[in-house]
Structure 1
Amino acid sequence: MRGLLARLFLNTLALWVVSLVYPGVSFAREAGLLDYLVAGAVWGLANALLRPILLFLTLPLNLLTLGLFTLVVNGMVLYLVAQATALEVDGFAGALVGALILSLASLFLTWLLRD
């Protein structure tokens, strides 16, 4: 349970950092803490459930691009999360850049807050 709450916190914090750093990804003006937490939870669920399926379906493209197509899959997942939550993304290009920054922010926060 502690690990699940920690992951929810990290996802929410990473989404918040990306919304501060990159103007292509933001939260709705009236979004509150609950909206941030919901977006973090949906991001975590999408990464756990949807992303592996998309990576499996796009495996040939991923092999041809030596793994770079994973960034496109991450952008697709971020775009879908934005459609379901208070997160706002400026088109698919914004989702690609946002996914790259989100991956870096999540990596840094995981490293910073590790046990």
Structure 2
Amino acid sequence: MTKLFIRLGINAAGLYAAIYLLNGRGITPQFDHWWEVLWLALIFGLVNAILRPILTVISCPIIVITLGLGALLINTLLFYLAGLIGTQFGVGFTVDGFVPAFLGSLIVSVVSFFLSIVFQDELKGNSRKARW
């Protein structure tokens, strides 16, 4: 259960960073409070958990031919879709084109990568116990 909350927090931090950095540059947030980003992160996690495997299998030849760059297109699509679904619930964001969605997905990926390294022990379940 702790892993779920850590992953939710990592997604929320990545989404908040992307929305904050690109606010007014193609992304417009549709929420007022910081805690609404947690709901958006939950939607983002569900979209990734449900659609990413399907899209990856379908586009496997494209990913192989482009040496992995097709995965960036999948990330962009899922970022845009999470904002669109979140907007329906009042906690999303609107994206004004491909480039802001692409940059937003890159920011979320980079922040998630670094925070996953920071919380690596907690995500693996290896808690460090103090030795007295």
TM-score, normalised with respect to structure 1: 0.89
Which residue in 1 is equivalent to 2:9?
Answer: 9
Q: Aligned ranges for residues 24-63 of structure 1 at < 5 Å?
A: 24-28=26-30, 30-63=31-64
* Higher helix proportion (structure 1 or 2): 1
Could you tell me the percent identity over the aligned residues? Answer: 34
Contact 1:20 1:26 in 2 (8 A): no
Change (3 A) 1:26 1:12: farther
Structure 2, unaligned runs of 5 or more: 87-91, 122-132
Cα deviation code 1:57-91 (max 9, x no counterpart): 11111111011010000000011111111222222
Which residue in 1 is equivalent to 2:124?
Answer: none
Structure 1, unaligned runs of 5 or more: none
CA distance in 2, matches of 1:112, 1:26: 29
Contact 2:80 2:101 in 1 (8 A): yes
Which residue in 2 is equivalent to 1:22?
Answer: 22
The one of 94, 113, 116 equivalent to 1:107 is 113
Letter in 2 for 1:113: F
CA distance in 1, matches of 2:78, 2:54: 11
Contact 1:19 1:25 in 2 (8 A): yes
- Rg comparison, structure with higher value: 2
Contact 1:42 1:81 in 2 (8 A): yes
Which residue in 2 is equivalent to 1:90?
Answer: 96
Letter in 1 for 2:20: L
Cα deviation code 1:15-44 (max 9, x no counterpart): 11112223333422x432342111100111
TM-score, normalised with respect to structure 2: 0.78
State the SS of the aligned residue for 2:120: coil
Change (3 A) 1:21 1:99: same
CA distance in 2, matches of 1:91, 1:38: 23
Aligned residue pairs: how many? 114
